[in-house]
Amino acid sequence: MSVKKVTVIDYGLGNVFSVCKAFEHLGCKVTLTDNADLLIHSDRIVLPGVGAFKSAMAELQKRNLVEPILTFSKKNKPLLGICLGMQLLLEFSQEFGTHKGLGLIAGKVEPIPRQIFQGNHRKIPHIGWNDLIVPEGGSWEGTILEGIPEKTSVYFVHSFNVVPKNPLYRLADATYEGYLISAAIRKDLLYGCQFHPEKSSVVGLKILENFLRV
Amino acid sequence: MRNLRLIARLDIKGPNLIKGIHLEGLRILGNPQVFAKKYYDAGADEIIYMDSVASLYGRDNLIEIVRKTSQQVFIPMTVGGGIRSVENVTELLQVGADKVAVNTAAVKNPILLRDIAERFGSQCLVASIEAKQTGKNAWEAYTDNGREPSGLDAVKWAQQTQSLGAGEILLTSIDQEGTKKGFDVELLKAVSSKVSIPVIACGGMGNISHLVTVVTRGGADAVAFASVLHYNLLSFSDIRKAALNSGIKVRQCQ
């Protein structure tokens, strides 16, 4: 069996180390790079990210990585955005103003509202383990969530939530104190996880392993 | 209701895992990575590493421990102790930490919290507050691993850390820490009712009823414990089962 290869985009933001270690743990060859050429010719790409939307886009632009990511995704090869990396796939974010994203998936990123739910303030960020739910009419077969039982808990930490225009792009949902979270999205081989598979224990590793197979 | 997070806290001194009482009288227990891996396998939701000495000299040890742990432990890892600058945070995140816990440097220079939150996001920033009771419903925040009084009211300081950008509060009761006699529930209640960010209860866990009380009465969003794990008094599966039996939601482990 040939060794699976994955390219992790290094743009100076986020917990890149953990993502790389998780893939290495799965026996994968990981290339961490900000080289556009390497990126375009990769088998599969992971766009990690922790932090603010605006500065993440600025860092991608500074490194001239926006065009290469768009070029790569047109080749119908697998791309996985994690957390902020998933949010960047959308058209724009309303995180402290309105900021343009990569626009690979129609829709927006909005703040999780701070409202009262069942007598308590909904705490922001949404931190912790929450259950994955199959959206109505959806299926995880043949996707990165194949073989994951519904209501499996994964680790989230975020204050903003993705809202794809087309509900068919919702791969998995979660509810956080009465608010619907896009836990994972999918458009063909373009994937996004709001949660951190690299921090979701055995289940998360299984999801990453699935990504190596799609 | 959210799933209550069950967190293993590992205090570090140099290359070793240690444990004390009231954050003092530290005893060496072994290799921190080995314990972290054990707790990960047993179903911990998160790990907290706290460098108790955090001297400039000891930082290489801490960074090495975090680096090695993140190669085999795939759950969130918070690292605290001796963080004085944005550069210190970068260093830790680069070797696999997900969040940093800041206490002493933030008390001396509160703007550090804002700088860290702006650079890395609030989700990355845990305000570590070590509190000692000074009277009825009054607590003072301490720095330097429980050694130095700060003069700050712990509850007010907690609110201030939130407005400066902290995403969570790790609230350790110095009075209860290491005693296994139960959490300072009043302290938890005082802080959790005044902030809208998650509060991690720490210090005093000795049995399951302590956990239940601090969650139901104290409003804790997460519970961190050390002694009961290190001395094999409770396991994660015991805690999970008991929590569920008491109507507290926790993650279902496979």
**What is chain A's mean pLDDT, rounded?**
94
In total, how many domains does chain A have?
1
In total, how many domains does chain B have?
1
Is residue A125 reached through a cis peptide bond, with omega within 30 degrees of 0 on the bond before it?
Answer: yes
Full domain range(s) for residue A185: 5-211
Q: Which of A20, A28, A196, A209 is catalytic?
A: A196
| Mean pLDDT along residues B147-154 | 96
Nearest to A13 by CA among B155, B252, B121, B220: B121
Task: Work out the pLDDT band at B20, boundaries 50, 70, 90.
Answer: confident
- Position B251 in a domain: no
Asked whether the beta carbons of A162 and A185 are under 8 A apart, the reply is yes
- Position B250 in a domain: no
Residues B8 and B35: their CA atoms lie apart, in Å, by 9
CATH classification of the domain holding A158 = 3.40.50.880
In the three-class reduction of DSSP (H, G, I as helix; E, B as strand; rest coil), residue B224 is classed as strand
DSSP string, B112-151: HHHHHHHHH-GGGEEEEEEEEEEETTEEEEEETTTTEEEE
CATH classification of the domain holding B205 = 3.20.20.70
Nearest to B130 by CA among B154, B112, B151: B154
Complex prediction ipTM: 0.90
Q: Which residues of B touch A130 (CB under 8 A)?
A: 2-3
- Position B253 in a domain: no
Residue B141, pLDDT > 90, answer yes
Residues A39 and A31: their CA atoms lie apart, in Å, by 9
Q: Which residue has the tokens 């598979």?
A: A197
Distances (CA, A) of A63 to A38, B87, B186: 13, 21, 51
Question: Per the CB < 8 Å rule, is B124 touching A124?
Answer: no
| Catalytic (active site) residue B98 | no
pLDDT tens, residue by residue, A125-154 = 898 999 999 999 999 999 999 999 999 999
- Position B252 in a domain: no
Nearest to B144 by CA among B197, B105, B100: B105
Which pLDDT value is given to residue B245?
95
- Position B12 in a domain: yes
Which pLDDT value is given to residue A122?
83
Full domain range(s) for residue B59: 5-245
- Residue A68 DSSP symbol: H
Residue A2, pLDDT > 90, answer no
Sort A146 into a burial class: Cβ within 10 Å, 0-12 / 13-18 / 19+. middle
Residue B99's φ and ψ, nearest 5 degrees, are -140, 155
Strand ranges, E, within chain B: 5-13, 16-21, 24-30, 46-51, 77-80, 99-102, 125-135, 138-143, 148-153, 168-173, 199-202, 222-225
Question: Per the CB < 8 Å rule, is A18 touching B168?
Answer: no
pLDDT tens, residue by residue, B203-248 = 999 999 999 999 999 999 999 999 999 999 999 999 999 999 999 9
Q: Which residues of B touch A154 (CB under 8 A)?
A: none
pTM of the model: 0.92
pLDDT tens, residue by residue, B67-97 = 999 999 999 999 999 999 999 999 999 899 9
Residue among B65, B75, B99 with most chain A CBs within 10 A, to mutate: B75
- Position B200 in a domain: yes
Task: Work out the pLDDT band at A14, boundaries 50, 70, 90.
Answer: low
Comparing CB atoms, the residue among A18, A123, A159 nearest residue B96 is: A18
